[in-house]
């Protein structure tokens, strides 16, 4: 798919999952530069899924994306994902083609994506 230029307002919502790596300080620096940015700080690490769910409570726009702040999910894909959404896709799901994780993580990821294909792909295939 081609990169599609668009004038879409980004609502940045960051969730600090209680990590002890000074990420909250860095997120507050971003908020100082861009006041409309939202920063949510959890009391402790409840896991990535819970952090994502908490961030979803603050979404006010028409669609949302969940990306890991550690850049495992490349932000360069955002324009392409937006392009699919603007063309009518209800769900746009990216899947890593290579992983450098332990074998159990790879196995669980493979199972997760299999479930996504079973339950969601049918919806996507008619629209993409």
pLDDT in tens, 37-83: 999 999 888 888 899 999 999 999 888 988 887 777 788 888 888 88
The whole-number pLDDT of residue 30 equals 92
Tokens of 41: 């700080």
**89 three-class SS:** coil
The whole-number pLDDT of residue 41 equals 92
pTM beyond 0.75: the answer is no
Tokens of 28: 């507050």
Tokens of 58: 């603050």
The DSSP secondary-structure symbol of 109 reads H
Q: What is the pLDDT of residues 71-118, one digit of tens each?
A: 777 888 888 888 888 888 888 887 777 767 788 888 888 888 888 778
Tokens of 118: 């079973």
Tokens of 82: 């937006």
């Amino acid at each position: 798919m081609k990169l599609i230029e668009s004038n879409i307002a980004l609502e940045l919502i960051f969730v600090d999952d209680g990590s002890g790596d000074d990420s909250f300080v860095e997120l507050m620096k971003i908020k100082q530069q861009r006041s409309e940015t939202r920063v949510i700080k959890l009391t402790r690490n409840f896991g990535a899924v819970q952090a994502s769910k908490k961030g979803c409570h603050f979404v006010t726009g028409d669609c949302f994306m969940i990306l890991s702040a550690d850049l495992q999910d490349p932000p360069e894909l955002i324009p392409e994902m937006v392009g699919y959404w603007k063309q009518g896709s209800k769900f746009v799901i990216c899947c890593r083609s290579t992983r450098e994780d332990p074998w159990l993580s790879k196995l669980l990821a493979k199972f997760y994506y299999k479930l996504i294909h079973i339950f969601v792909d049918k919806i996507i295939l008619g629209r993409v």
